[in-house]
Structure formats: structure tokens, C-alpha cells
Structure 1
Amino acid sequence: MKTLHHLHRPLGSTGLNISPLGLGTVKLGRDQGVKYPSGFSIPDDREAANLIALARELGINLIDTAPAYGRSEERLGPLLRGQRDAWVIVSKTGEEFDNGQSRFDFSAEHTRFSVERSLKRLETDYIDLVLVHSDGNDLDILQNTGVYETLERLKEEGLIRAFGLSGKTVDGGLLALQRGDCAMVTYNLNEQAEKPVIDYAQAHGRGILIKKALASGHACLAPGVDPVRASFELVFGHPGVTSAIVGTINPLHLAHNVAMAVEVLGDH
């Protein structure tokens, strides 16, 4: 079985070592308002525990969640009990999801409340990385709200190890990396507009996580071309990329993704 255990790499200068693929957990907690090509059922606790055990066996140590992912955080707390040291946990702040609707709050008060709530839900006394869950107005969020200053303070207090932005614009990503540790950007076969953020991170020792690496399951290519392989060749072809978050709940897809990542990274 191909695994990622030997391919862990540093996330910028955070001191965190992470697998080149991370497990995204939106599907553990939320099935409304998500952009996937086909419907799915939220896995039960046994299925979720099996998926997490498989991810760990495959050498994945990065797990990505958010308050906006429905019940994801509160389910992960019990699911990760006794194995906290095996995981680098990424969560977010800024977006809330209630009754099928997103709402955003980037104030200092909400940021602290959100992180403290995530710590309780995840049953941990620190979160490795907290990202600002942008609504698209990246520059406004970074310049005119208290979110980044509050995350800086929470890092000083030891409640989080690192912070950054999951944004939607090049300008936002660049500003986020000047003051923060990491940016999460969209980069796939269909969308490469945020590549300058990855270039900057590579030049300045910052971390980059990729969201939608597989275009949320929408990657379409010529017949006979494996879309996962082609996607990973693009993503891991950039030396500034640390890890790509893959949000599958299908064990076969997860194993296939890992095997492809091992092959592609072996070629670099």
C-alpha cells in the first residue's frame, strides 16, 4: 500500500510538518449548500471513525474543519480522542452556517469566541492552524476588522500555533502572507488565478494549502487522462504548495488520491 508517511513536509516556517494531502471534513457535518456534482449522505460515527483511521494509516496527518461545516468540529472532538498528537488540525473563523445560510463576523470579539468554541468542540487545548474563512472581501477583512490582530494574540497566548487566510483574491492572499503564516488558495486545472500567492509564499517561506485541488470533483479532461493525476501534477508541480485538502468520504477515493499523490511526488 502506498502511503504518505515519508513525504511529510514543513508548512512554511510554522514548525508544523504536514502530509501533502489533508482530509477535508465538510462532509462529516454538512450536506446543505455544498457544491458537489452529486449528493451524499453524512457518514455515521462508525464510517467517520473508519475514514479517519484509514487516512492516518495512509500517512495523512492534516485534518481540515471549520465552524461553517455544520457539526464537523463537534464530531471530530470524540473521533480524535486519544490521538491528538497524530494530527495537525486546521480550523477557521469568520463564517457561521445556520439554517442553511452562511453569515460572516470578523470582529475581534467573535474571533476569540469562535476559536474558544472550536477548542471545546475539538476537545483540545490548542489548534495548529486557524484560517480566516473569507466571504470574498479579503482586503477589507484584513485591513478593517479585528480578526488578524486577534489571531496574533491567540497565537501569543498559545491557543493556536499559526494563522492565515482562506481567501478568494490575489491581493488578499499576498497581504495575508505578509502578516500571517499560511494562505489557503484555490488552484486547479480550471482555476489558476491565485498562483501569484503561491509564488510569494515560496519566496518568503510561508505555507500554502490548496482548496478545490480536484475542482470539487468537477475536473474534466480528455478521455484516458486520470483527472486526479493531472490535478496533482499541476498542484504539486509548484514547489510553493505544501498540501492539498481533499474532502472525500469514500475510502476508495481516499486511497486512490493518496496513491496518485505518492506517484506524482515520486516523479518530482
Structure 2
Amino acid sequence: MSLPTLHPYHRPLGSTGLSISPLGLGTVKLGRDQGVKYPNGFTIPDDDEARLLLRQARELGINLIDTAPAYGRSEERLGPLLRGQRHDWVIVSKVGEEFDDGHSHFDFSAAHTRRSVERSLQRLETDCIDLVLVHSDGNDLRILQQEAVYETLARLKQEGKIRGFGLSGKTVEGGLQALQTGDCAMVTYNLDEQGERPVLDYAAEHGKAILVKKALASGHACLAPGVDPVRASFELLFAHPGVSSAIVGTINPVHLAHNVGVVAKILSQR
């Protein structure tokens, strides 16, 4: 009996013209094991393990991959790991946050934004990144209204270096503003936190893309005995028409297959 896959359930990434799987693979764990908020420690996979994980994800129908300069060596590892497969993947990266010597720092200037995207293109060995999100420090409105990052991303889109742009933010106000002129908002939405729901509502009404981060509450989701927290989490997410895809950062092949099976079952019943 063949395993369920997400191939039949690909959907539009807002109005970008891209088609994505309802689950995306987050890759912070391919590049960074410091300063990450997971309940259990983990070992960064070596290249062979990472290659197997990516192949498994692709076979299960996942075509969305999420990375960032702040994810340590994630981007520079993905470049060689995805060689010859670029057309199989929709790649999301970020700008604004850098992670060095165990600490994050932020730069939303025009010069840094452009430099960061050029560096990501080089590391990922591609001439175009599908989606670039502003990695917010929490001051969403200040970043969007007072920094040059968003207009710089709009220019890079016109130049063909990126296909779409948006904000990975932390506030409703930021998400709503980001969607007015951008293509996508990445929001936190899970069993514990649903405060950003108005951003999902706006996206559904205006044909914009929503990517959900912390969909499983970074592995912290706990419910009553006998209730599968993964199923309950994805039921919540995919009940909302605004959700394009949920980014889940697992490096465990069993968890990955389980997540895909649960999502495929939920979507097959819609």
C-alpha cells in the first residue's frame, strides 16, 4: 500500500503564480543548534542525512522549503544539497536578521537588504529566490513604515531577483500592512496562539499568501489524553481558507511522514 502524499493538494501561493504544498520544510535545524526554542536538543544532520530528508520530503509531495540567513549554515548547505533540483522546489528565504556568535542582530537598511539577497542567491546557487520575507524583530510597523527594506524588496522583485516578498512578523498590524503592498505574511497560528487570525482573514479576502510558522507550537503542543496534537493543530490550520502552507521544521523522517499523512487525510476530507 502506497503512503499518502501531498501531490494532489498543492495550492496557489497567493497571487504569485507559484504552486506550493500545504506543508513546507523548515530548515533551521540544518544550520543552527544555538538559541533555538525547541523542547528537546538535537544534532544537526550531516549531508547524507539531510539529502535523504530532502528526498523523502520531495517524494511525499513537499515542494516548499523555508530557510534564512539567521539559520546558521542552512542556506549555504541547501545550495549544494539541491543541485539539479531547483525546479522541484519553491524556496523561501529572509532578510533583516543575522545570527553570529550565538546572537541575533537586525539590519533593515536598503544596502543590507540588497546585499543579503545577493548573498542568499549565491549560497542557494540560484538566480531567483521565490519568496523573500522580512525577518522582523517584533517592531513590525516601524520596520515597514520607517525602514527601506520593503521598497528594496519590491525593487528586487521588479529586477527579477525574487518572485515575491512579504513579512515574517509578530503583530496583527504588521501582518495587515505587509499584505497591502506585499505578497505574503508569515504568521504564528496554532492551538495556543491565534491572535493573528485577522491577518489570515484579510489574506483570504484579498487573495494573498499566508505561511504559518510554529504550527505545532515548536513541538510544545499538548492536549487532553488521547487527542493527537498534530492532527488537532492541522485541523485548526486547514479549516481557515487563508492558510497557504504550514512550515514545520522537523529533521525526523518518521515525524515528517506522520505530518504528511495527517495533512493528506484532513485535506482529502474537505
TM range (shorter): over 0.9
- How many Å apart are 1:265 and its aligned residue? 1.0
Residue identity opposite 1:23 in structure 2: L
- How many Å apart are 1:267 and its aligned residue? 1.9
Distance, in Å, in 2 between the alignment partners of 1:77 and 1:223 is 42
Which residue is 2:93 aligned to? Answer: 91
Q: Find the residue that maps to 1:228 and give its secondary structure.
A: helix
Which of the residues 153, 156, 162 maps onto 2:155?
Answer: 153
- How many Å apart are 1:24 and its aligned residue? 0.2
Which of the residues 41, 46, 49 maps onto 2:48?
Answer: 46
Which of the residues 125, 128, 137 maps onto 2:127?
Answer: 125
Runs of 4+ displaced beyond 2 Å:
none
- How many Å apart are 1:29 and its aligned residue? 0.1
- How many Å apart are 1:99 and its aligned residue? 0.2
Distance, in Å, in 1 between the alignment partners of 2:228 and 2:175 is 30
% identical aligned pairs? 79
Q: Find the residue that maps to 1:219 and give its secondary structure.
A: coil
What does the per-residue CA deviation read over 1:143-171, in whole Å, with 9 as the maximum and x for residues that have no partner?
00000000000000000000000000000
- How many Å apart are 1:266 and its aligned residue? 1.4
What does the per-residue CA deviation read over 1:167-205, in whole Å, with 9 as the maximum and x for residues that have no partner?
000000000000100000000000000000000000000
Q: Does 1:107 align with 2:109?
A: yes
Distance, in Å, in 2 between the alignment partners of 1:229 and 1:85 is 31
Unaligned runs of 5+ in 2: none
Residue identity opposite 1:35 in structure 2: K
What does the per-residue CA deviation read over 1:94-113, in whole Å, with 9 as the maximum and x for residues that have no partner?
00000000000000000000
Unaligned runs of 5+ in 1: none
TM-score by length of 2: 0.99
Which of the residues 205, 210, 213 maps onto 1:211?
Answer: 213
Distance, in Å, in 2 between the alignment partners of 1:56 and 1:130 is 21
TM-score by length of 1: 1.00
Q: Find the residue that maps to 1:201 and give its secondary structure.
A: helix
Q: Find the residue that maps to 2:34 and give its secondary structure.
A: coil
